Structure 1
């Protein structure tokens, strides 16, 4: 279990790095270009085991329809992140994406039934993430903006 938790944590670090790279690429080339290069790189990487004959993958024509939908949603995910990240920053974008994923997970659990008992805890997790987002927006005043003991603002040089 600990190994899987570390693996999931490493996955999150890879996602954050990927977002940062795609955000920079989107600034210079555009969001759809960033999404294209992201998915082309992923395709080439994942094709290596298939070409080597060691992967137990089926041919794309035999893939279920949801497999194709997953690719389309993944491309949109990268494109939308590439647009939002340069404007919102890495931390805010990541917190909003995680909050959206948790809300989606709560809805799926609610609709599928088995995880319905944990929904209050999941909603609490969403609330904590949104609270973190709110707190990250609040910036402390710089020394030049904070009032002096007499109530007057410090002059800026």
Structure 2
């Protein structure tokens, strides 16, 4: 279990780094061209890794709907490349993570056909509070208009 937790944390760090790199690339060549480069390089790299590990193993057993993940991933990178330079690293990451948490709870509730548990709702509340805290702190630092 510890291995998977460390792997997930490493993945999060790599996603953050990837967002920063793609954001910089997007400011130079545009978000959609940056997304294309991201996916072309990723495709070539993963194809090499998969061929190296498994050889050619056909794709007949993969349901057609599974390919939507690739389309969603491409859209995610393109949108993220567009908003990242405009919102900054912290705000963009917090909003993306908040969207992921909220959609994950919703998907779990639909699959389980039940309302979310108090623990899940508390987790969502903590994520949303984390999203609001930087804004509250920034508002406190600004001097009030009309005072002084």
TM-score exceeds 0.5: yes
> In which range does the TM-score fall when normalised by the shorter chain?
0.7 to 0.9
- TM-score normalised by L of structure 1: 0.80
How many Å apart are 1:49 and its aligned residue? 2.9
Partner of residue 130, structure 2? 132
- CA pair 6-51 structure 1, distance change in 2 beyond 3 A: closer
Partner of residue 45, structure 2? 45
Uncovered stretches (5+) of structure 2, i.e. residues with no partner: none
Runs of 4+ residues over 4 Å off in structure 1: none
Partner of residue 89, structure 2? 90
Q: Please, what is the CA RMSD of the aligned residues?
A: 2.4
Uncovered stretches (5+) of structure 1, i.e. residues with no partner: 153-157
* 1:63 aligned onto 2:82: no
Q: Is the 8 A contact 1:34 1:79 kept in 2?
A: yes
Distance 1:4 1:50 in 2: 21
Aligned to 1:32, the other structure's residue is in SS state: helix
- TM-score normalised by L of structure 2: 0.85
Q: How many residues align?
A: 145
Partner of residue 6, structure 2? 6
